[in-house]
Structure 1
Amino acid sequence: MKIAIIVPMAIEAEYYRKNFHSGNKEMFGSTVFEHFCVKDNDIYLGLSGIGKVQAAMNLASLLSNVDIDLILMTGTAGSLAAAVHKEDLLLADSFTYHDAHNTLAGDYVEGQIPGEPAEFKLTSPARENFKQFLIEQKVPFKEGLIVTGDAFIGSDVQKDAIKQNFPEALAVEMEGAAFAQVAYHFNKPLIALRAISDNGNDDANEDFDEFAQKVGAKAAKLICAYLEKMN
């Protein structure tokens, strides 16, 4: 299989680089993808950059040039739910945009881009296999909706505004829905594992630097273990 692993920031890719042996490098979009081989699988590790445009551009460029079979997205997110705490793992089952407000443009719901689904559902057999792996490994995780937008959420005012439109959302970040939209149009399965780095409130600025690397490595360790077990 050809598997893409994409993370937003270099600090979130460090564990993968330590775990995988060095491979070839190739530029797709605006980012360099490192090419490794793990258990007869071709792994393409790249940084998406931060935000929706960078995420979509770099994933679409890779998929346009390489027949990727599976996309794995890891990284961090801020909590939106009282039951979601720092260092919790979230396995997204859907994404939407918290900064897409098009209800006045037609029969659309909050978060929906005209011409696109209301939510991007992640329902592939590949995701189910990974979910079963987490269960077998007795890894605690939560699953649900994650919302995406081009803003770092670092205040209770921002957080409350998002929760008003998306009360069921577990977390917020800056790339996931863009990944999901590209994967949807390329008809590729996406597994999205986010680790909570902060509470998305007034403490987020000081929390983020401290926790991002730690929780990014936590998600990366699980991805690496899963790849080692894949047939």
Structure 2
Amino acid sequence: MKIAIIVPMEIEAEYYRKYFHSGHKEMFGSTTFEHFCVNQNDVYIGLSGIGKVQAAMNLASLLSLVDIDLVFMTGTAGSLQDSVHKEDLILASAFAYHDAHNTLAGDYVEGQIPGEPALFNLDSTARSNFAQFLQKEKIDYQEGLIVTGDSFIGSQVQKDKIKQNFSTALGVEMEGAAFAQVAYHFEKPLIGLRAISDNGNQDANGDFDHFAQKVGAKAAKIICSYIEKMA
């Protein structure tokens, strides 16, 4: 099986390099992917960069040239709910764009890009298998909607505005819906696992640097363990 693991930032990728050894580097699009062989699986680990365009460009470049079977998207997110706390894990059930406002352009809902689904649902056998792994290993996680936009959310005002349109969203970040849109068009299963680094409010900027590396490593350790046990 060919597996892609993509994270936005270097501090979120460090753990994978410590865990997987003797990889060689290949360039896809504008980013370098490190290629490892793990339990007879080909694993491609790369940085997407930050934001929707970088995420879409680099995943599409990889999928255009390599017949990837499964995409893992991991990294950090900010909390949108009081029940979602720092260091919690969110297994995304769907992604949407919180900064897409096209209701005046036709019969569209908030978050929908014309010609695209209102939500990018991630239902797949691969995702179900991963969820069963989390449960078997007694790893605490929540499941739900994560929303994506090109702005870092660092105030209560920003949070409240997002929640007006996406009241049930658990987390907010800057790449997930773009990954999901690309995976949807390439017909590839996507597993999105985000770890909460901040509360998306006025304390987010200070919290992020402190927690991003810690929670990124937490998510990475789980994914690495899962891949090592895959048949």
Q: Distance in 2 between matches of 1:91 and 1:30?
A: 28
Q: Distance in 1 between matches of 2:23 and 2:216?
A: 22
Paired position in structure 1 for 2:57: 57
Paired position in structure 1 for 2:159: 159
Paired position in structure 1 for 2:147: 147
Q: Distance in 2 between matches of 1:202 and 1:92?
A: 25
Paired position in structure 2 for 1:217: 217
Deviations 1:64-112 (A, max 9, x none): 0000000001100000011000000000000000000000000000000
Paired position in structure 2 for 1:13: 13
Aligned: 1:4 with 2:4: yes
Q: Distance in 2 between matches of 1:72 and 1:56?
A: 14
Paired position in structure 2 for 1:229: 229
| Code of the aligned partner of 1:201 | N
Paired position in structure 2 for 1:182: 182
Shift of 1:22: 2.3
Shift of 1:24: 1.3
Q: TM-score, normalised by structure 1?
A: 1.00
Aligned: 1:124 with 2:106: no
Paired position in structure 2 for 1:100: 100
Shift of 1:52: 0.1
Paired position in structure 1 for 2:193: 193
Q: Distance in 2 between matches of 1:82 and 1:3?
A: 34
Q: TM-score, normalised by structure 2?
A: 1.00
Deviations 1:206-230 (A, max 9, x none): 0000000000000000001001110
Paired position in structure 2 for 1:134: 134
Give runs of aligned pairs for residues 75-94 of structure 1, distance below 5 A. 75-94=75-94
Q: Distance in 1 between matches of 2:53 and 2:159?
A: 22
Q: Distance in 2 between matches of 1:84 and 1:225?
A: 24
Shift of 1:23: 1.3
Shift of 1:140: 0.4
Q: Distance in 2 between matches of 1:200 and 1:28?
A: 32
Q: Distance in 2 between matches of 1:58 and 1:66?
A: 12
Q: Distance in 1 between matches of 2:22 and 2:219?
A: 20
Shift of 1:190: 0.2
Shift of 1:118: 0.2
Q: Distance in 2 between matches of 1:165 and 1:205?
A: 24
Q: Distance in 2 between matches of 1:34 and 1:224?
A: 14
| Secondary structure at the counterpart of residue 225 of structure 1 | helix
| Code of the aligned partner of 2:138 | K
CA RMSD of aligned residues (A): 0.4
Q: Distance in 2 between matches of 1:154 and 1:183?
A: 28
Paired position in structure 2 for 1:35: 35
| Code of the aligned partner of 1:47 | L
Q: Distance in 2 between matches of 1:49 and 1:124?
A: 26
Paired position in structure 1 for 2:114: 114
Q: Distance in 2 between matches of 1:33 and 1:8?
A: 12
